[in-house]
Chain A
């Protein structure tokens, strides 16, 4: 079993390999952009049909950001909301059957998200406290704690990126082993098509893809909001 992303094609001339992660991510981005574009065409005072869904999503994300970060930090809501939608869609994209792998099973994707969060924390810390106050924060509670504080700050993106990566990758490995097992069982009975693997894995898909996927994206945005608001206050 090969766990790495497949190389779909190589850019000619530059010799840059384009993996499955990149193409799936671009497909998700195009889908979300079209969703936002066509959802905001005919806006009315009284929402009807498609506008109800859009308003529910935007209103829910805005209220989560207000509750967690406070009323004065609503300016983070667009980034947090788009991160949540992108994360949830990349976890749920395997359920459509059009893509073989979720982009979250590639450490590059999650590490990129975690690094954005890492730079947001420190940029906002410097911006709100000033450079002197920010650097003084590393000497709390006593100056001897400086190396421990630095290690703790560097551990944030590592833990933040490995959590969704391990969770989704573990789920996909277990699902792949289960499908292999059902194929083997069907071969024992003498069925050419693995019929046994039709209904039973659906229950596990609900847990591993739906529940785990939504929960991991929710946790990621919650931790991002908590860290950033701690850096500002």
Chain B
């Protein structure tokens, strides 16, 4: 019974951890929108703008990836289950 509760809690916790994806999505969308604006203003600087935009988008993605790592640990590694085995 205790093991079942721990597993259920881990599954719910993994789902809650993936809420972190909201922030990453908003941040990446903001970066892409600003990048489109910049290309509209200066079409000749497209290469530099794309490079900077991808860098910023990947840095913004890291918050979502922290949540993904926590969710993967809870689902596949599960450090809490060892208390009951």
**Which residues of A are interface residues toward B (Cβ below 8 A)?**
1-3, 159, 162-163, 165-167, 169-170, 173, 215-216, 218-219, 222-223
Contacts and interface: CB of A to CB of B under 8 A. Distances in A.
A163 B61 contact: yes
A181 B22 CA distance: 27
B59 A219 contact: yes
Interface stretch (B1-9, B27-35, B37-45, B65-73): B65-73
B76 interface: yes
A64 to B, nearest CB: 9
B65 A167 contact: yes
Contacts of A3: 72, 76-77
A215 B54 contact: yes
Contacts of A163: 58, 61-62, 65
A173 B62 CA distance: 18
Interface residues of B toward A: which range?
A: 10 to 19
11 contacts: A162-B69, A163-B58, A167-B61, A167-B65, A169-B69, A170-B65, A173-B72, A215-B58, A216-B58, A218-B55, A222-B55
Contacts of A222: 55
B10 to A, nearest CB: 15
Interface string B47-64: 000000011001101100
A169 B73 CA distance: 11
Given A3-B76, A3-B77, A219 B65 contact: no
B46 to A, nearest CB: 16
Nearest to B56: A219
